[in-house]
Amino acid sequence: MAADIYTPGVVAGRLDAETIAANFADLHPPYDGHEAAVAADRCYFCHDAPCITACPTGIDIPLFIRQIATGTPEAAAKTILSSNILGGMCARVCPTETLCEEACVREAAEGKPVEIGRLQRHATDTLMAAGVHPFDRAAPTGKRIAVVGAGPAGLACAHRLAMKGHDVDLYDARPKGGGLNEYGIAAYKTVGGFAQAELDWLLKIGGISVHYGAALGRELSLEALRDSHDAVFLGIGLGGVNALRVEGQVTEGVMDAVDFIAALRQSGDKTDIPVGRQVVVIGGGMTAVDAAVQAKLLGAEQVTIAYRRGREAMSASRYEQNLAASKGVRLMFNAQPEALHGSGAVEAVEFALTQSVDGQLRLTGETRLVPADMVLRAIGQSLDGTPEGIALAGGKIAVSGAGRTSVAGVWAGGDCAAGGDDLTVTAVAEGRDAAEDIHASLLG
């Protein structure tokens, strides 16, 4: 008998392929032309616009919206992409409610910002659908740069370097490029294989040789890369996962949220992805929300996000929290995991309830047992192995200026580098700025 949402344990195929496909459809479907025109018409073309400042890549938002309004979404796309080459992905995944749209003067005035993210998508989708790559390479410089990590930071860096006329070797440990665009971002934010399509489109600039399955610390060493190249950029993200310290040795049914998501992102119709009937996700960030929502969309009967602090402290935005709630995920605050119970597979998680007193987290003395046949850990990622001889700060690669590390000729950016939010758009900004700095220092 096929599984359904009531089948106990961790099983695949709780829902049929059609229902799953509907569940995982585009979170914000693209605008049609008329909707885009109406949305663009709301932009006031503010002077020194706050949305530009709020965008980590500093896209000229009023200009691109005006270009949409005047019927030239292709020109709009060029405005976007000249600041942010992954403007297509960012349009889908940026938490705009805490970035550009939060800063929109219409948000302050009416609580309804101009929908910048969706307009950005309208523009970039139009250009990409036409198969146009609007940038050309400068004359060859004869310099060769190694970019390690083909996530947003590495891709933005590689593209900007190629544009400046340098040759780039782009390495990634995984069999595919894209980083978390391909393996991490929630499936309903980037439907239809967009991450690979965008990657292919980006590489059309030319001058970037990709080498997948090549890991720093395995096939590659920093020393050898420094010898063979004029500069090195590290955009290796956070490959490690923080450990969950709780009592109980139960491991069956317990996994890292990022692995659950990666498997889901690589699956075709997702009917092969096992999910529990009662899922508990531990954590308070975007990863926790994404894991919980997707578990629910796969057909888990009950999904709970347990976060050890209060709602205000949760790093997932209120928008993300509401998204989770709207999908039927329960949000449980002030619950700190203490023990995993179960003989063999996990059966329940025991939480100590907490309280915040003068900024300090205190236990109230109460505990709560939440039944669970699947536990997803989403309590943060960490740097996976430190590249030889590089100084760290707060567990990440220490950088100064535009991503300069402690080692001469080596830059870093994105999640692996200290400072900045762990967001796709921030990774793009850091990769791009490091490329400009590499260019300036090589030709300066």
Partner 1 sequence: MADLSTDFLGIKSPNPFWLASAPPTDKAYNVERAFKAGWGGVVWKTLGEAGPPIVNVNGPRYGAIWGADRRLLGLNNIELITDRPLEVNLREIKQVKRDWPDRAMIVSIMVPCEEQAWKAILPLVEETGADGIELNFGCPHGMSERGMGSAVGQVPEYIEMVARWCKQNTRMPVIVKLTPNITDIRYPARAAMKGGADAVSLINTISSITSVNLDSFSPEPSIDGKGSHGGYCGPAVKPIALNMVAEIARDPETRGLPISGIGGVTTWRDAAEFLALGAGTVQVCTAAMTYGFKIVQEMISGLSQYLDEKEMTLGELTGRAVPNVTDWQYLNLNYVTKARIDQDACIKCGRCYAACEDTSHQAIWMKPGRVFEVNDAECVACNLCVDVCPVEDCITMERLAPGTVDPRTGRVVEAEYGNWTTHPNNPAAKAAE
Ligand X SMILES: Cc1cc2nc3c(=O)[nH]c(=O)nc-3n(C[C@H](O)[C@H](O)[C@H](O)COP(=O)(O)OP(=O)(O)OC[C@H]3O[C@@H](n4cnc5c(N)ncnc54)[C@H](O)[C@@H]3O)c2cc1C
- Between residues 72 and 386, which has the closer beta carbon with respect to partner 1? 72
What tokens does 236 get?
A: 């290796």
Closest by Cα among 443, 436, 424, 356 to 56? 424
Distance of CA 266 to CAs 154, 190, 255, 259, 295, Å?
21, 12, 17, 11, 15
Q: Which of residues 160-199 bind ligand X (CB under 6 A)?
A: 171-174, 179-180, 184-185, 189
- Between residues 59 and 425, which has the closer beta carbon with respect to ligand X? 425
Q: How far is the CB of 107 from ligand X (least distance, A)?
A: 19
Coil, strand or helix: which one is 60? coil
Q: How far is the CB of 83 from partner 1 (least distance, A)?
A: 14
Site string for ligand X, 254-293 (x = CB under 6 A): ----x--x------------------------xx--x---
Cβ neighbors of 139 (< 8 A, separation 6 or more) are 165
Cβ neighbours, 10 Å, residue 398? 16
Do 179 and 261 meet the contact criterion of CB atoms below 8 Å apart? no
- Between residues 75 and 280, which has the closer beta carbon with respect to partner 1? 75
Q: How far is the CB of 92 from ligand X (least distance, A)?
A: 8
Maximum Cα–Cα distance across the chain? 69
Q: How far is the CB of 126 from partner 1 (least distance, A)?
A: 12
Regarding 27 and contact with ligand X (CB under 6 A), the answer is no
Sign for the CA dihedral angle at 251, 253, 259, 263 comes to positive
Q: How far is the CB of 67 from partner 1 (least distance, A)?
A: 5
Do 121 and 86 meet the contact criterion of CB atoms below 8 Å apart? no
Residue 399 touches which member of partner 1, ligand X, none, C-beta under 5-8 Å by kind:
none
Task: Using the rule CB under 6 A, give the single segment among 31-39, 51-59, 87-95, 355-363 that binds ligand X.
Answer: 87-95
Do 13 and 2 meet the contact criterion of CB atoms below 8 Å apart? yes
Q: How far is the CB of 144 from ligand X (least distance, A)?
A: 18
Q: How far is the CB of 156 from ligand X (least distance, A)?
A: 8
- Between residues 34 and 245, which has the closer beta carbon with respect to partner 1? 34
Residue indicated by tokens 């292709």? 74
> Site for partner 1 (CB under 8 A): which residue of 4, 26, 35, 74?
74
Coil, strand or helix: which one is 304? strand
Distance of CA 440 to CAs 52, 58, 161, 230, 402, Å?
25, 20, 11, 13, 11
Beta strands in 216-292 (DSSP E): 231-234, 240-241, 254-256, 278-282
Site string for partner 1, 53-72 (x = CB under 8 A): ---------xx--xx-xxxx
> Which residues lie near partner 1 (CB under 8 A)?
34, 41-42, 45, 47, 62-63, 66-67, 69-72, 74-75, 78-79
